[in-house]
């Protein structure tokens, strides 16, 4: 007989080391609404990856360009310890077949770990979209129909999202597929090509759009995948 688990699944959420993190609080709330329990993990307070049912790699500072074969900007500093921690968690999630989701930086890092690369700065490449921070959903995005991301968003193929980034995916990893684009054709979401591999990521920040039902669907997907995976494994 399959044992029924009633406890909320534990979702590891990787973040920076800042004492106050609005993104973490918003993600924690989104995961709680979806039925999960978020646990913050950062390089100052690492935790054992094996204790989690799923993983969310959150947004933040730029990834070290050396990870995808590009030159580092000498005027910028990179969080090498965070890169290392999140890379290890991504590798573990993939090898253990645990659900994995990335937001902004996290989605970019998943692509990099799987063999893709990034544009280090798209500011001069934008033609139809704006630079700068846009917390509210003002940027139109087109989503491929019948994909994991579209289903998470309630079947939408057109939506508006926020934009808090100056980097973007350049080449999508072979094992992943691009499933959403903005008006400048920059990739806005990726997911695994393998139907049963629970891996996806978005360039935007759904944690700041928790008041929109379709955006909450991304957290619901992660929690549901965690519950399903936990029951199968145990």
State the CATH number of the domain containing residue 80.
3.40.50.880
Enumerate the active-site residues. Answer: 104, 205, 207
Question: What are the φ and ψ backbone dihedral angles of 94, each rounded to 5 degrees?
Answer: -70, -45
Strands 134-143 and 158-163: antiparallel
Alpha carbons 54 and 66: distance in angstroms, whole number? 27
Look-up of token digits 């973490």: 24
Alpha carbons 115 and 233: distance in angstroms, whole number? 28
CB atoms within 10 A of CB 47: 16
Alpha carbons 24 and 40: distance in angstroms, whole number? 7
Instruction: Please check whether residue 61 lies inside any domain of the structure.
Output: yes
Instruction: Please check whether residue 144 lies inside any domain of the structure.
Output: yes
Residue range(s) defining the domain that contains residue 129: 10-233
Instruction: Please check whether residue 2 lies inside any domain of the structure.
Output: no
Number of domains composing the chain: 1
Strands 187-192 and 176-182: antiparallel
* pLDDT for 1: 34
- Residue-wise pLDDT tens for the chain (234 aa)? 344 455 999 999 999 999 999 999 999 999 999 999 999 999 998 899 999 999 999 999 999 999 999 998 888 999 999 999 999 999 999 999 999 999 999 999 999 999 999 999 999 999 999 888 999 999 999 999 999 999 999 999 999 999 999 999 999 999 999 999 999 999 999 999 998 899 999 999 999 999 999 999 999 999 999 999 886 665
Contact 199, 192 (CB under 8 A): yes
């Amino acid at each position: 007989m399959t044992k029924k688990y009633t406890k909320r699944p534990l979702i590891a959420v990787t973040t920076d080391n800042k004492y106050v993190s609005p993104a973490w609080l918003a993600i924690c709330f989104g995961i709680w609404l979806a039925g999960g329990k978020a646990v913050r993990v950062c390089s100052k307070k690492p935790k054992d990856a094996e204790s989690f049912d799923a993983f969310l790699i959150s947004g933040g500072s730029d990834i070290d360009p050396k990870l995808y074969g590009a030159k580092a900007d000498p005027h910028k500093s990179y969080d090498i310890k965070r890169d290392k921690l999140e890379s290890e968690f991504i590798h573990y999630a993939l090898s253990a077949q645990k659900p994995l989701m990335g937001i902004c930086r996290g989605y970019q890092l998943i692509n990099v770990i799987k063999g893709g690369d990034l544009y280090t700065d798209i500011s001069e490449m934008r033609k139809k979209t704006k630079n700068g921070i846009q917390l509210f959903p003002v940027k139109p995005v087109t989503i491929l129909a019948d994909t994991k991301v579209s289903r998470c968003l309630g079947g939408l193929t057109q939506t508006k999202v926020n934009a808090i980034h100056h980097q973007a995916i350049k080449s999508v990893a072979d094992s992943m597929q691009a499933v959403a684009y903005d008006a400048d054709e920059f990739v806005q979401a990726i997911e695994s090509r393998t139907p049963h591999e629970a891996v996806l990521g978005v360039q935007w920040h759904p944690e700041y759009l928790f008041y929109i039902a379709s955006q909450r669907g991304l957290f619901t997907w992660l929690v549901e995948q965690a519950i399903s995976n936990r029951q199968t494994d145990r």
